[in-house]
Structure 1
Amino acid sequence: MQSPVEHGEKSPNQQQPEPITHGDDAAISTPSPPNTNTTTPPIAPAAVESHPQAAEIIRQVEYYFSDDNLPHDAHLLSKTGPSGQEWVSLNEILSWKKMRSFKPPARVKASLCQSEKLEVWKNKFIRRKEPLKVPTREDPKKARNKELVEKPWLTKNFLKPTGFEKNFVDIVTPTEYEQERTLFDPDESFTSRMDSAVARYMSKRKIHQLTLQIFSKFLTFGGFSSGPHQFTGGLTEQDMKEMELDREQVVLMKSPFAVSSAVIDGIDPEDGEVTWVVDFEGMAKAFLSSHFMAHFDWQDAKIVESTTNILCNFYNYLLVHDVCPEYKQQIMKARQVCEMADQEFKTLAQANKHLPGNFNIACSTRCGGRYASIRPADPGADWVLEGDTIGLSDEDALHVFTTGIFAHGSEECLNNLQKVMKQELQLAVISEEEMGLEVVRVEECAGQAEVIYSSDQVKGTVIKPTGKLHCIRWDLPHRAPKDLPKSVIAEQKAKIGEKYEFLVEDEVLQYCYPGLKLEGIVKELNIGVKWIDSIEYVYPSFHTWTLNEPFRDWKEPGPPKAWMLRQMEKNNGVGGQVVIREPEEDIPD
């Protein structure tokens, strides 16, 4: 609600009356509101009684200054200021339409002094007690012009609503809903409904380049094929006009995406078994945890937010338009996966940045691992930037390594370390293996280890408190098969679930959580210490691998060429017999 502007009246916050003085000893001045920063208690003349309708009066004026009304009342907000705590003339408030019926003014003002949310000064001015908590409304046109000034490469069309705004909701009228029943009839095949849904969805969205890249990757990963005008069959615009097609038919024919024939045959096979299944939740997990991470900068929070927003926007469309009600629960779970990814990718990016931690880097440096070749020879070099992970010097690596062993090592490990320091034993790597790891528990520095790390000799150095990262061996589902003996493969499979403990700094452990998956190289020393030499990839807790990964690159082979047939005959023979070609006879001239 907006209050009326009375012409000819000026706000006391905009123009204060100048005092009128006569002589040096006497001065007569008109009253002005107190300083806004002061907390003057409400003042009401004791002789004036409250109005009989005091409760109604207080409720109405409190509404004028409330969080619900004030941000949208341009006139009143101009007087109270953005904080809502500038003084406003009481006479102006009483002159508004809904306040004119309350008489006399003196009793109305006395009633307002009883308000718990407003304060009155000398029966002349009024304001809120608490600052305005709701942000003021910004004019969309002014916001657009401001963005165009800050980003001159943008166009006005680029700033128009796209349909991908946060919390965007499709509005479907009953008439539109009934019209869509012919397209999304449950009796129609699932693939046919999805074709229509994707075509209509894209026709109702303004899709920019990044949005199209993300959405097209998602669709093709989920079993769609892409190409210009999938359903036109070579028809031109003129052909479609002459055929007098309705709008829905034209939208479908112009769609750049269609469910691939392999998926159609696999979901609804005429004969044979089903080879494809519908799994919205599984596809959301698989796409976000593998395909998306491989093709986009998943460590950029804005790209992650854009991706999950696009997926949720599409899922909401399927729900609102009732495209496939039989999969409603799956779609809702897929939205939950997007919400999980929004939060988890932020932590995962930090884990990827800080792992494996200084203790593991120290082990790698001292034992000829990956970080041995990138330790800083000259930390003051121009090419060394703050924040660069450039390993540790030999001296720092030795201190970090020995302190970690003294803090957490077993008695046998400590005895072996003593032998190494006395040069009675040479440090040696006895095993090295590339493996997957899944975090099951995080244990921060405590007990005797905490005492060692808090000592004066350690404080303020490169040595940081370490805890334990408890992991189990995780079978990498996407790993290419290796040409190994069956006995070795069986032995490796038997190790799945094997427990491991690694020393990792507390400042790194804060980014690790149960379910986090790692792919890296684990080594073991002859003194009984295992460490992570390097981290190749990290994966979220919902990481899922599907056959969609290799299927994307699958091409249906065509008929064999002539040279292939000749080679097959040569290798396999004809009718079980090896073909031996006789030398051709010389042809006389």
Structure 2
Amino acid sequence: MTDFSSSSPIKVAEEPMADVAATITASTSVGGQCEPQVGNQTTIEIERRTSNLADPDHAKLGGNDVANGASTTEGADPANTTQAIGSIEVGVDTEKKSKKKRKPAKKKIGKNVTGFEEFYADAPITPEEARKEKKELYDTSRGFPDRIEECLQRYRANRRMDVERTMMFNKYLWLGGIDSSQRQFTGFAEDREALAKADAVEIRQMTATDFVGGSGSRFYDLRGSENWFVDFTGIVKGFLSRTIPSIYLYDEAANQLAAGTIKNFLNYVLMHDVCPEYEDDIQAARAICDIAPLELRMTHDLLNELPGNFNAIANSLFTDRLVDKLDITENFDKLLMFRFAVLLSPLSGDVKKKFLSFKDPSTNKVVNTKEETYQVIEKIKLSRAKVKENQQELEKAGHSGKWNPTGVIKVKPSIIEFGYDNLPRADEVDLSNALPEDYLVEEELLVKFEKGMKIKAVVCELDFGIRFIKEIKDVRVSFDLFLPQMLMENWKDPVPNDRPPPSVSNPNVEENAMDDDE
């Protein structure tokens, strides 16, 4: 069937057919089909005039019986039909339904802002808010515990932390003696009426989790404040050098996340002038946050790459005694590499003269082996010009490729503190008179050392004064620091025990008590 438009009349020529006059009332569906319906939605008037047709029942519309889709108008007189070429006029009146246009949803500005973006800046505050911060909230007449508690609560309310960042920040606060455990009115608060009546400040105070003092002996206590002192730099050092590596081992993304989170908080403290008396200390703590990810990566690399090629050759020659088998070409090449590394290094001239005084290398031996902890106090490397000159001289002598430039790390004995009873503490050992020692390492390893780094290693000393690293045990960053608070992580305050102790007459009293509890 021909599809009719709903906008303008369409005339379709038909062949001569029976004289039929019909008025069809139908409602047009979306698909173009017509259904009989009483009403005036759509009127199709069909007038056909033909003559000399005996059977008027064969009147058709587009090849389909009229009876299938329409009804003949009552009162039509077939005798008055005349022969003509009929036409069909269709007029369609369509009710235009108003369609509501959906407006695109407005994007909420700042919905996904966390406050930890690289170029994020806190929203400006009004003069009244600035006056309140300076004269009331963070006035120096208030004690530091009150100011830093107010700062922490306001800071957390203005930042959107995910689970991992929250965990890191809570660990940082715990090291500083601040309790950030969950409390009442967190999550879905049961007292909805109280929350509905409270203003923004009251809601923040009700939902706050950061409090200074009054949380037990594991945290800062106002009654024992003489045992605590403010040290932003120390807490950051301990957090980034001990706490984060103990959780993540080595994870570069976690190191950057932790350092960035703490620096963001310190920036907030500085911007709001919370404690101006500790500004220098906070600036030093921010500097630790900047260098921490890089140094943690360097210590990880050193732990995997030390003792290095030179020290490995020295160990094989004088500990495994390959120096006694110089008739093997490989062993002789190792001896040449060892001698070139020593003689072309920045070691002192006295050490080199003593080394050259030994004509037979097979007579050299290890005279001392020990496990020691050192702190790097200086590193010495050859200039680029000197390296290039040495390489040219070796090429002329036919020893190209047998020298890898080495530098010197000057170290002195030190201690990596852990707080255990069976290990010495830094304040229990006097190392002020200890003499520095020199160790050779390749330049690609030398650049990864920083002044203040600590290494724990098994070292050997040869009879002509050269020392080498046999095995590396540990490498620590330059800002490594042990904090006594770390020992309080799993501490529980003792409580009175009303159970009797085991005795000769009743040795199983504890087991019986446990059975009773079950």
| TM-score relative to the length of structure 1 | 0.54
Contact kept? 2:259, 2:292, Cα under 8 Å: yes
Matched, 1:530 2:477: no
- 1:435 correspondence with 2:373: yes
Map 1:59-98 to 2 at 5 A.
none
Equivalent residue for 2:179, pick from 225, 229, 242: 225
- What corresponds to 2:128 in structure 1? 175
Residue type of the alignment partner of 1:455 = L
1:257, distance to aligned residue in structure 2 (A) = 3.7
**Secondary structure at 2:458's aligned position in 1?**
strand
| Residue 417 (structure 2) pairs with residue 464 (structure 1) | no
The structure 2 residue matched to 1:288, chosen from 240, 244, 253, is 240
1:478 alignment partner, one of 403, 412, 418: 418
Check whether the contact 1:442–1:513 (CA below 8 A) recurs between aligned residues: no
CA 1:368 to 1:240, structure 2 compared with 1: closer, same or farther past 3 Å? Answer: farther
Amino acid at match of 2:310: F
Establish whether residue 208 from structure 1 lines up as the match of residue 162 from structure 2: yes
* RMSD of aligned Cα (Å): 4.2
How much has 1:502 moved relative to structure 2?
0.6
Letter aligned with residue 265 of structure 2? F
8 Å CA contact 2:240–2:255 kept in 1: the answer is: no
Is the CA contact (8 Å cut-off) linking 1:263 and 1:276 kept in structure 2?
A: no
Instruction: Tell me the percent identity.
Output: 25
Report how far residue 438 of structure 1 moved: 1.9
**1:76-475 to 2 correspondence within 5 Å?**
160-171=112-123, 172-178=125-131, 183-229=137-183, 232=185, 237-239=189-191, 241-242=193-194, 244-259=197-212, 261=214, 269-270=222-223, 274-296=226-248, 300=252, 302-341=253-292, 344-345=295-296, 347-348=298-299, 350-366=301-317, 398-405=335-342, 407=344, 409-416=351-358, 418-421=359-362, 425=363, 427-428=365-366, 430-444=368-382, 451=390, 454-456=393-395, 457-461=398-402, 463-475=403-415
Moved more, 348-357 or 316-325: 348-357
1:364-392 residue CA offsets vs partner (Å, 9 max, x unmatched): 344559xx9xxxxxxxxxxxxxxxxxxxx
User: How far apart, in 1, do the equivalents of 2:167 and 2:218 lie?
Assistant: 27
Mapping of residues 30-45 of structure 1, within 5 Å:
none
* Alpha-carbon distance between aligned partners in 2 of 1:326 and 1:263, rounded to the nearest angstrom: 28
- CA offset at residue 182 of structure 1? 5.3
Deviation at 1:357, TM superposition (A): 2.1
- The CA deviation at 1:185 is 5.0
Aligned CA distance change for structure 1 residues 537 and 260 (closer, same or farther; 3 Å): farther
Are the counterparts in 1 of residues 372 and 459 from structure 2 also a CA contact under 8 Å? yes
Conserved? CA contact 1:453–1:465, under 8 Å = no
Residue 83 (structure 1) aligns with: none
- Offset from partner CA, 1:379-427 (integer Å, 9 cap, x none): xxxxxxxxxxxxxx977755543443454653443445x4443xxx373
Secondary structure (helix, strand or coil) at the match of 1:238 reads coil
Q: Match of 1:513, SS?
A: coil
C-alpha separation in 2, matches of 1:334 and 1:218: 13
Give the length in aligned residue pairs: 378
Q: Over residues 485-514 of structure 1, what are the superposed CA-to-partner deviations in whole Å (9 max), with x where a residue is unaligned?
A: xxxx98x74476420001111232222333
What is the identity, as a one-letter code, of the residue corresponding to 2:382?
E
Deviations 1:180-210 (A, max 9, x none): 5655454544333333322322222121233
Q: Gaps (5+ residues) in structure 1?
A: 1-155, 373-392, 571-589
- Give 5+ residue unaligned stretches, structure 2: 1-107, 323-329, 346-350, 508-518
> Per the alignment, do residues 470 and 214 of structure 1 end up closer, same or farther by CA in structure 2, a change over 3 Å counting?
same
Larger Rg: 2
Partner SS for 2:179: strand
Measure the CA separation in 2 of the matches of 1:479 and 1:399.
46
- Provide, for residues 503-531 of structure 1, a one-character-per-residue CA deviation record: whole Å limited to 9, x for no partner: 11123222233333323222223443311
Contact kept in structure 2, 1:364 and 1:533, CA below 8 Å: yes
Q: Tell me how far apart the structure 1 counterparts of residues 388 and 370 of structure 2 sit (CA, whole Å).
A: 27
Equivalent AA in structure 1 for residue 487 of structure 2: P
Residue identity in the other structure for 1:530: R
The residue that corresponds to 1:20 in the other structure is none
Which stretch of the first structure deviates more once superposed, 214-223 or 170-179? 170-179
